[in-house]
Amino acid sequence: MIDPERTIAAQATAAGQGAIAVIRMSGPGCMDVLKQCTPVAFTDRLRPRRATLARILDAEGGTIDQALITWFPAPASYTGEDTVEISCHGGMLVTVRLLKRLYQCGASPAEPGEFTKRAFLNGRMDLTQAEAVMDVISSGSDLALKAAQSQLDGGIGSQVNELKDSLIHVLAHIEAYIDFPDEDISPDTASALLERLRQMEEKLSALLRTAEGGRLLREGIRTAIAGPPNVGKSSLLNTLLGYERAIVSNIAGTTRDTVEESIQLAGLALRLIDTAGVRESSDVIEQAGITRTNRALETADLVLEVADASAPRTEPFLTAGCTAPRLLVLNKCDLGIHPDWKTIPGIRFSCAAGEGREELEEAIVRAFASALPGETGSSQVAINARHQHELGLCLEHIRLASESISRQESPEFTALELREALTHLGEITGAVDTEDVLGAIFSSFCLGK
C-alpha cells in the first residue's frame, strides 16, 4: 500500500544524456527536503506554479547544479499532493548526484508508476485514465495515440459511469419493492425496467466490440508477408520500411528465419514479419524456417500474400490454420503481367518501380475499418483486456437480471444480479479496487510516472 506520509522522488525524463532532465518529487515533505538542499530562504520566495532558478547544494554546501524549481501545492498537482519538479542539466552524473541528495534529505525512491498511482488514490483520475497514461507513452501509431488520449480525457470512464447511473436507477426500483412489498411492480414498470436493461446490454455489447480494435492499436497489426520463394517478399518488407532490412537475392531459400520490424502505415502500427518462402525442401534449416512461416501465418492478424505477377499463377500456399484476412500483392508488375493474373483481383505492385504503395495502404485500412474503434458519443473508444473481462461479466449479470424480471422471480434474485453487475463496473474505474489489480496495472509503468 502507498504510505501517504512518504515523500518520493525519481527522474521523470528518460535516462541518459540530454539537454535537460526533470526530477519529480511528491509528498508532504517536499518543502523540508528543498530547505536542506537549496540556499537559505529560497523556499520563502518560491511561488506556486512559477519556475524559480536556484542552486542545488550538496551536504557541504557545494553546488551540484543550477536548476529551475517549480512547486505545485496540494491538491492542484498531478498527484494531488505537494509536488516539486526540478529541471536540471541533463548529464547522467548531475541527475544521479541530485537524486542522491534528495534521498539524503528525506525523500525515498519512487516505485514504477507510483506518481500515477497516488494520483488515482487521491481522486485526480480514475483507473481507466491511469492506464491511459502508459498507453499514451507507448503509442506506436497516430490512431493508438488518439485512442489513448481519449481514454486519458475520461472517454471510457464517462461511459462506464453512465452505465452505472442507469444500473443504480433500476436497482433502486427493485430494492424499493423489496422494502415495500405491498407495492407491486406493475407490468408497465417491469416493462420499463427491462427496456432500460436492454439498452444497457446494447451499450455494453458496443463497448465489448472495441476490444479487438484496442488490441490492434496497442500491440500493432501482426502482418505476415508470405508467399513462394523469389516473389519479392523481402523486397516488399524493405520497400515498406524504407531501408534495406532483409537480404534480397534471386537464390531460392535465402530467407531462412522470420524477420520482424514495426512501421506506422496510414496511421496504423504494423508489425511486419518477413517469412521464408513456402516450398518442398529437404534442407533441414529451410524446413525449420517454413515451420516458423506456418506458425506466423496461424497467429497473424493480416497476411500479405505476395505473388510474382510476371510468372504463371501457382496454387495457393496458405495453411488451413491461417484465418487472418488476406491481401494479394501482385509484385513485379513492372516486368509485365502474365495472362494468368489478368483477371485476378489483387494489388498491382512493383518494389523496383515503387508503385502500388498507396493502394496497399488503402486496402489495409479497409481490411480493419470495422475492427478499429469508432466514434461512440464523442469519444474514440478502445477498451483493453481488463476492461473486456469486467464488462463481459457485467453484461452476463444484467442478462440474468433481465431473465429474473421476465420470469417474475423474487426481486431479491434480481437485486443480487444487479449488485454484481455494479461491482464489475466499479472494478473498471477503480470505484471498487483490490491491491492485486492495482499492483498488476502499475507494475508495468516506468519510473517517474
Cell numbers standing for residue 285: 534449416
Q: Is residue 21 located within the same domain as residue 98?
A: yes
Sheet holding 8-11, edge to edge: 52-57, 63-72, 83-90, 18-26, 8-11, 108-109
Please compute the mean of the pLDDT values over residues 46-53 and round it to a whole number: 95
> Rounded to whole angstroms, how far apart are CA atoms 229 and 207?
43
One-letter amino acid of 38: T
One domain for residues 202 and 338 = no
Q: Is residue 373 part of a domain?
A: no
Which of 74, 98, 126 terminates a domain? The answer is: 126
> Within this chain, do residues 362 and 402 fall inside the same structural domain, yes or no?
no
By percentage, how much of the chain surpasses pLDDT 70?
Answer: 84
CATH of the domain at 86: 3.30.1360.120
Check whether 211 has a pLDDT greater than 90.
no
Distance in angstroms (rounded) separating the CA atoms of residues 9 and 27: 9
Q: Quote the crossing angle between the two packed helices 411-429 and 385-406, to the nearest 10°.
A: 170
Of 333, 367, 401, the position where a domain reaches its end is: 367
Considering the domain architecture, whether residues 159 and 206 belong to the same structural domain is answered as yes
Take residue 239 and report the three cell numbers written for it. 520497400
Q: Which of 127-141, 263-277, 383-397 comes out lowest in average pLDDT?
A: 263-277
In degrees rounded to 5, what are phi and psi of residue 328?
Answer: -85, 120
First to last CA, the chain: 17
Q: Which residues of 313-330 are buried (b: 16+ CB within 10 A; e: fewer)?
A: eeeebbeeebebebbbbb
Beta strands in 59-106 (DSSP E): 63-72, 83-90
Are residues 317 and 290 part of one domain? yes
Q: What was the pLDDT predicted at 21?
A: 94
284 shares a domain with 168: no
CATH number at residue 176: 1.20.120.430
**Is it the case that residue 375 has pLDDT exceeding 50?**
no
Both 228 and 190 in a single domain?
Answer: no
Per-residue pLDDT of 18-37, as tens digits, reads 899 999 999 999 999 999 99
C-beta of residue 163 within 8 angstroms of C-beta of residue 199: no
d(CA 150, CA 81): 25
Looking at residue 391, its amino acid is L
353 falls within a domain? yes
Which structural domain range is residue 146 located in?
128-210+378-430
Mean pLDDT across 308-322: 74
The pLDDT value recorded for residue 245 is 65
In a domain, 148, yes or no: yes
Same domain, 113 and 152: no
Question: Residue 449 domain-assigned?
Answer: no
pLDDT of residue 1: 60
* The pLDDT of residue 257: 52
Whether residue 448 is contained in a domain is answered as: no
pLDDT band at 253 (very low <50, low <70, confident <90, very high): very low
When pLDDT is cut at 50, 70 and 90, the band that residue 97 belongs to is very high
Residue 371's nearest CA partner among 142, 190, 212, 157 is 212
- Does the global pTM surpass 0.85? no
Cell output for 225? 508477408
Same domain for 390 and 342 = no
Whether residue 112 is found in the same domain as residue 151: no
- State the pLDDT confidence band at 254, using cuts at 50, 70 and 90: very low
Closest CA to 142 of 272, 270, 264: 264
391 occurs within a structural domain: yes
pLDDT at 247: 46
In sequence order, the β-bridge partners of residue 8 are 26, 108
136 Cβ partners below 8 Å, 6+ apart? Answer: 145, 148, 149, 152
pLDDT value of position 185: 56
The CATH number covering residue 258 comes to: 3.40.50.300
Better-scored residue on pLDDT, 359 or 448: 359
Q: How many domains does the chain have?
A: 3
| Rounded alpha-carbon distances, angstroms, from residue 318 to 16, 217, 296, 418 | 46, 26, 11, 47
Q: Are 238 and 213 in contact (CB under 8 A)?
A: no
> Phi and psi dihedrals of 308, rounded to 5?
-90, 105
**Residue 2 resides in a domain:** no
Q: Which of 345, 367, 389 is the last residue of a domain?
A: 367
Tell me if 306 is assigned to some domain: yes
Nearest to 395 by CA among 211, 209, 208, 214: 208
pLDDT at 377 (0 to 100): 37
Query: Which of 154-168, 176-190, 301-315, 368-382 is predicted least confidently?
Result: 368-382
Average pLDDT over residues 151-168: 89
How many Cβ atoms from other residues are within 10 Å of residue 410's Cβ? 10
Give pLDDT tens digits for 378-404: 346 678 889 999 999 999 999 999 999
Closest CA to 15 of 447, 351, 449, 433: 447
Which pLDDT score is estimated for 210? 85
Does 205 lie in the same domain as 143? yes
Do both 223 and 363 map to the same domain?
yes
State the pLDDT confidence band at 249, using cuts at 50, 70 and 90: very low
Span 50-96, pLDDT tens digits = 999 999 999 999 999 999 999 999 999 999 999 999 999 998 999 99
Sign of CA dihedral 206, 209, 215, 216: negative
Burial of 413 (0-12, 13-18, 19+ CB in 10 A): middle
